[in-house]
Chains A and B, each alone.
Chain A
Amino acid sequence: MSDALVLHGISHAYDASLVVRDLALSAEPGELVCLVGPSGCGKTTSLRLVAGLERVQQGSIEIAGRRVADARLHVPPEERSVGLMFQDFALFPHLSVLDNVAFGLRGQSASNRAGTAQAMLQQVGMADFAEAFPHMLSGGQQQRVALARALAPQPKIMLLDEPFSGLDTRLRQRVRDDALHVLKQTGTTTLLVTHDPEEAMFMADRIAMMDRGRIVQIGTPSEIYGQPASRFVAEFFSDLNAIAGVVRGGRVATPFGPVSAGDLPEAAQVEVLIRPEALRIDLNGGVDGRGIAARVVAARLLGRSSLVHLCLNLDPGHSHAGPLAENQHEHWHARVPGRFLPPEESLVRVELDTTQSFVFPAEAPK
């Protein structure tokens, strides 16, 4: 089966500044791909290029096997069969909910259009609001209507631009859960742009991580999280414990013992990055148990998990002396599922899960 969306060699500049560089991306039918990255990395521009709201300067775009844009060709957005959803929902304020959803349905009788629109509203659970006007709806309801409106003409590809960031945290989680189910039910190929790593992991079949106009890694959420291609990618998805080191005999020394340096060259300056959940804490380890000894500085329950602040240097009184930067080896974060709150100043033993630690060349100081 051919790909539902193919972007090839896309570069795009505003005035002199290049915001997208040689971007290549494809999505299979029914797949949900997330473009994720910090503000200004070019992800929204990429989405607008696919929608046809910007003209392609270099490269080409194909939707369902049909070339829709390259340096010479520009199929206007209304002929591309794309659905688009925005952060501000952009519901037409002068039309009722039903008319909003029916807006994109053409070439049918009025009653057919109303029927299709009503069925779509049913699917997003907004059937009772067909006669309402957008300003009468809550944020979550508007979002669902916007989704129904974009899906009603059965677009070949659905484009979502930060679609949930206008909602508050709790509502956002519910709404995006609903949206995911509707998108999967309808089998719609989707390209979603977000700056929220958690949202990307929640929604995506595949994640394309962008940095300064380039895609730096593409993979499933678990690949991106478990085998990040660079410090930038690793850092984007969680906070990290970092230690500097040097490669000796294919390994790097850490307080937890040596870890494999992969194929990094001998004597290279490297950084070992350790996710907080890679640290296992044993409360009853005593002095002789597995792992190394550490002192609990603080412990906080964050809801689904607990965050434990640890000091690996047991020299009494040492932990409070000197600025943190010099003590970076000694102040550690460990994330533990559920409620796990060892008392402050208690001694524990800490072990490292080496599958969740990564070694990258040290970045030159900026």
Chain B
Amino acid sequence: MASLTVEALEDLAADPAPRRRRRRPRVWRGLILFAAAAYFILPIFAALRFAFQNDSNQFSLYAVRAIPSQVGFTAAFVLSLKLAFSTLVLTLLLMVPTTIYVHLRLPRMRRVLEFITILPIVIPPIVLILGVLRAAPLWLKSSPYLLSLVYVVLSMPFVYRSIDSGLSAIDLRTLVEASRSLGGNWVKTMWRVVMPNLRAGLLSASVLTLALVLGEFTMASLDLWTTLPVWIAQFQQVDAHIATAVAMLSLVGTWLLITVIVSLDRSESRRSRRRMGQ
């Protein structure tokens, strides 16, 4: 809109060659968009093509079909899923009550929380895992769930920001006071009043956490656990077609998961809006 009015004004101003001035930017715009689209789409296309080819460069589904029977694939996949699920549960249990409490009772603590949750972005994963491998007790180091505990830290920046912006968008204090004065206890207030209002924030926090854990390579490889990304990297030497097929499928799977969760939420909220309207 704004650019429209500006361009209209420029046209009104006495311009010796209005045509040429208008057309040149359009050519540039097309060129820039084309170059960007080529740079970002070509690698995805090339990898997908490679995943659906056999060794003699013909279209084939052999790589995709062969995935489940490869040595170590199932174990790596299950381990990644277990880590993703346990990380998600732990993150939500830790961050949701803390963030709600700080919003309700300790608004001054918000700055502290903001500072702490920005730190995992400043400290690179490779340095963090160095410290964790030093500081963790032996019994914890022998368990893959040590990774879950660290992934909770990695997910803090996204999760805190998602929940925080979700809470800032609603009038939390009024909602809680209304529920309490109507006789709801704290559990009921949280479960029936605050959580439904927080759904969008919780959803994006969960999606980001799952995507983060399923794609994490640095920490898992240095902690010597074969999660899915680590397995793919190792399997590259055995069969590049199969390894690429797994990599692209995991990528597509993550996107599908995100799309499904987000669209489910959208249709759900539309339905509830309709219900309220009636």
A and B: real partners? no
